[in-house]
A and B are shown apart, each in its own frame.
Chain A
């Protein structure tokens, strides 16, 4: 590692994930001296591109950019900092074993064989989701209100929330309140006929969570995802993978004046007179700062870096009870050649391919996870990034990046033996839509939640740092007492996915946290 230039900064950011970098940029822009300390040898956290087989590169964590709002991308001027897109506005395709795939473009649904009723229902669905996400999206842009305080800002923000929901109109407001806490399976049964369509929408609802479509709260995670994208999900693939986005964020932060050090793991958050006073690095060096912002997940931050003795016991218990176990795995395949996907045109193949033929398929896949088994027939979200970005693989070869559910953190039989078996299951599951796939695989890699925990230093290996669930959401995210990016310890802030509005490569937690830090000092 390199050595920080100074012994004292206005703010130290623990962790150079995308949220940490966004937070650093805004703080530096406001004139603060900012130091970012990243444990890995590159910035980006779980948004990194790395080699997984000789000559094959892949976005090791997140593999598509769809949640970061265009306004934030523009504001950070990432284009000027080297961000290019290999593909933009990618389609989502629900695969079908008979080759009759269902393609859904951001612009509108194109039904391979949607019935007239489904086509109408889908149009109405999109209208409703645009309405709802239009109403809810502004909530992501600021600190959520707290209940039971006398603060005028909290009351104002609660009233604004009520007003936005009321403004949906009687019909849509009722529908939002009706479906808000439902399970997505019931919701989709109410509205659609096509199993493929229901499977695709159910996948969106449960992706990255510990839910099946029949789990209560699975509509909330769907609304959350839609709210983040403003109702129209535009899928993009950065040139060079998600790591290129992180690199651009790093350059933006540096350009704003922040100092970034990689391979600089923080060991401890320092406390003096009941205030965060800086950090101690694993190297033994100490850096002082009146503001410490943690991009790490809440459990790592409070129990690992800070320590229970500086916190109240009830708060520590809430942190301990935070549900942070991941159930999502990642499979990377290095292919000598790309097999044929019958029925899939070249444009669709570049998109996001879903293996979730119907909602019950996902529920069955989920059953296993409840008992610490991997899904016998898993649900997949597949991309072939090398089609749009040949730089990721040697000429003629291809990379397949697969998000797979469900892979429990702790496997009954142990991941030592389960690893190869589950990888084979994933390959065979996808192989049903691409005959001969197995023969094309030169190398493969499986990241279980336990691997994700190790590689990206996320306690439990959950994408969102903590489950997106009603009791860990919005006003109470991650736990009461640490909402609004602040913690019980003065001077210590959170800016990671464990905060509102959560994970996915969105960047809003980082920006909101920076605002809160500046509000506090002002």
Chain B
């Protein structure tokens, strides 16, 4: 973590504890801002980095993920009123994927909750949430603090990630199941480094996330890179991550939905049911913010839903409109995220589609614009609504994972 020596307005983007390492390995100088930090978009080539996630091991710096510590006698009650899932079932050592909504049942953000002890939690979110968490804490005995800068985070993902982490000395990792976390240690420069490791990730593949002291970040990175060898470890940027998360069917705020805390236009906010995350909503656990609105929506039926599309051809359908017929007369929705999937060898997309066309197997038409040396072409191609995730290898769940 760079200690701000200058006032914050003189260094509008912070540097993560991995920044110097990343900068040294960045070959094309493609950095982008992410949640107040400067982070790597592409190190060398997004495709190369993509294949390190699917065929080897990848390092992704996710320090900018916003992190909160939540503790207090009412911590569980607070979380259960804030989030749509029933977290009473989340025991220490477990992680849950969650969303939370405003009063109208529209998503404010998604994230993960780590139960770190009785009535003690860490929440990781995409965007800053202190305002909403503070409002949600009225009437509850709970302390919330942001710990983003106190924790450096590194995702180690890919089929060889388990072997790589074993090689650097993380003993006992073979017992860690998906959505579990624990304390592990590895040899450091002088003393052993202890850190929290969770078997979580945003790739849909076998992988882990390492949560460490910022001071240990450099040593951990160097050690992992040193032990890469035939396991093929490589740092990756946001572009490669975006390809794999689409394959895994994960949604991203500001791409697949806009937080209800930020939308200005009526009707642009999205509910968990519309995002296909209805399975995260537990109507039986008691009251939570947005429950009454979501119950009404469930009764009424969703007006639209996020679905997976398998599109003809090989050209990614970025930002395309969807139509019911080739004629393009009646709109049926639009693409939110698109990629050519090198592993599936399919042209994939996530799309927000009007209710009549959300059933798996529905056929829609996609309008794709192609820039061919500044000559624009328009293609109408067929797309089919398919199940998500598009790519779900068995290795992501195997415990213990295979050795390489």
**Residues of chain A whose beta carbon lies under 8 Å from any beta carbon of chain B:** 274, 303, 307-317, 320, 481, 488
Contacts and interface: CB of A to CB of B under 8 A. Distances in A.
Closest 9 CB pairs of A and B: A308-B139, A312-B103, A313-B136, A314-B103, A317-B135, A312-B289, A313-B289, A313-B135, A316-B138
Nearest to B81: A309
Contacts of A309: 77, 81, 139-140, 286-287
Given A274-B287, A274-B292, A309-B81, A314 B139 contact: no
A308 B103 contact: no
Contacts of B140: 308-309
B138 A320 contact: yes
B132 interface: yes
B86 to A, nearest CB: 14
Nearest to A317: B135
A490 to B, nearest CB: 9
Contacts of A320: 138
Given A313-B103, A317-B135, A481-B103, A308 B81 contact: yes
Contact of A314 (B81, B286, B289, B291): B289
Most buried by A among B77, B82, B132, B138: B138
Contacts of B41: none
A283 B138 CA distance: 27
Contacts of B135: 313-314, 316-317
B290 interface: yes
A175 B135 CA distance: 41
Interface string B370-400: 0000000000000000000000000000000
B109 to A, nearest CB: 13
Given A313-B135, A313-B136, A316-B135, 15 more contacts: A274-B287, A274-B292, A307-B139, A308-B140, A309-B81, A310-B287, A312-B103, A312-B289, A312-B292, A313-B102, A313-B289, A314-B102, A314-B135, A316-B139, A317-B138
Interface string B273-293: 000000000000011011110
Contacts of A488: 292
Nearest to B134: A317
A268 to B, nearest CB: 13
A307 B290 CA distance: 16
A520 to B, nearest CB: 16
Interface of A is mostly: helix
B102 to A, nearest CB: 6
Nearest to A271: B287
A108 B233 CA distance: 92
Contact of B138 (A274, A308, A310, A481): A308
Interface of B: 77, 81-82, 102-103, 132, 135-136, 138-140, 286-287, 289-292
Contacts of B290: 312
A313 B287 contact: no
Most buried by A among B103, B286, B289: B103
22 contacts: A303-B138, A308-B81, A308-B138, A308-B139, A309-B81, A309-B139, A309-B286, A310-B287, A312-B102, A312-B289, A312-B291, A312-B292, A313-B81, A313-B102, A313-B103, A313-B136, A313-B289, A314-B135, A316-B135, A316-B139, A320-B138, A481-B103
B183 to A, nearest CB: 33
Contacts of B136: 313
Contacts of B77: 309
A313 B102 CA distance: 7
A227 to B, nearest CB: 32
Contacts of B138: 303, 308, 313, 316-317, 320
A479 to B, nearest CB: 11
Nearest to B293: A312
Most buried by A among B136, B140, B290: B136
A314 B291 CA distance: 12
A274 B138 CA distance: 20
Contacts of A314: 102-103, 135, 289
A66 to B, nearest CB: 37
Nearest to A313: B136
Nearest to B101: A312
Nearest to B100: A313
A488 B290 CA distance: 11
B82 A313 contact: yes
A382 to B, nearest CB: 41
Nearest to A306: B139
B330 to A, nearest CB: 25
Nearest to B102: A314
A309 B142 CA distance: 13
B180 to A, nearest CB: 29
Contacts of B82: 313
Contacts of B291: 274, 312
B169 to A, nearest CB: 44
Nearest to B135: A317
A511 B289 CA distance: 31
Contacts of B139: 303, 307-309, 316
B292 A313 contact: no
Contacts of A316: 135, 138-139
Contacts of B287: 274, 309-311
A316 B290 CA distance: 12
Contacts of A274: 287, 291-292
Nearest to A302: B139
B158 to A, nearest CB: 39
A316 B138 CA distance: 7
Contacts of A308: 81, 138-140
B121 to A, nearest CB: 17
Contacts of A317: 135, 138
Most buried by B among A303, A310, A312, A317: A312
B368 to A, nearest CB: 38
B285 to A, nearest CB: 12
Contact of B132 (A307, A311, A313): A313
Most buried by B among A309, A311, A315, A488: A309
A481 B136 CA distance: 17
A320 B134 CA distance: 12
Nearest to B139: A308
Contacts of A310: 287
A317 B289 CA distance: 12
A311 B291 CA distance: 9
A481 B290 CA distance: 13
Contacts of B292: 274, 312, 488
Contacts of A481: 103
Nearest to A304: B139
A362 B134 CA distance: 38
A308 B132 CA distance: 14
A309 B286 CA distance: 9
Nearest to B77: A309
Nearest to A148: B266
A312 B292 CA distance: 9
B78 to A, nearest CB: 9
A274 B139 CA distance: 18
Nearest to A316: B138
Nearest to B266: A148
Contacts of A313: 81-82, 102-103, 132, 135-136, 138, 289
A488 B103 CA distance: 10
Nearest to A307: B139
Contacts of A312: 102-103, 289-292
A320 B138 CA distance: 8
Contacts of B81: 308-309, 313
Nearest to B286: A309
A303 B139 CA distance: 7
A307 B138 CA distance: 10
Contacts of A311: 287
A312 B286 CA distance: 12
